[in-house]
Amino acid sequence: MGKYYFILQNKRNGQFALFDPYAGGIVLLDKAFEEVSFFCNGYCPFRSRENRWGYINTKGEICIPDLYLFALNFNDIGIAPVEMEEGEWKIIRKDGSDYSEKTYRMVLDVDDEYIICEDHEGNRIKIDLDGEHEYSYSETDEDDYSELDEDDE
């Protein structure tokens, strides 16, 4: 079982703090944080006063700067969907690098085995996280999907 960290917020001044029950201490987070999500796999999305999202680590340090319109949690293998601009999503690694150069109109689901997203033409795509296979995808028939040809990409 993984470690759990807690985000606390001072009701008087709005400042966030990270409580680490394993070290037995509280770390005050940057006062520029407007919103802080929750930790998952060692990282926590935060929203800055500039209304952009980034990530902090379990020491309360900014490890991925606030570059994104929106950011979701990292999964168990270390990837997360981020929205660069309205309707322009991509998948990043924990070091902030791109998982793939492709962008998507929407990311619908990120699992430890696959990503389901919607391309800019509105087609749903299921991507195996080995990075080798993309499939057209329909929710009505999850187990019956066909691999995209090179021409379909």
C-alpha distances in Å from residue 103, one per residue of 2, 73, 90, 106, 122? 31, 18, 5, 9, 13
- Token look-up 């793939």 returns 100
Q: Phi/psi zone of residue 131: left (φ > 0), alpha (ψ -120 to 50 degrees), beta? A: left
Look at residue 146 in the predicted model and tell me its pLDDT: 46
Residue 67 near residue 32, CB atoms below 8 Å: no
Residue 12 structure tokens: 């008087």
Distance between CA 2 and CA 39 in Å, rounded? 11
In this prediction the pTM is 0.79
Look at residue 20 in the predicted model and tell me its pLDDT: 78
Residue 98 near residue 90, CB atoms below 8 Å: yes
Look at residue 139 in the predicted model and tell me its pLDDT: 57
Report mean pLDDT in 10-residue bins for the chain, 153 residues.
75 85 76 87 92 92 95 92 95 93 90 88 86 65 48 49
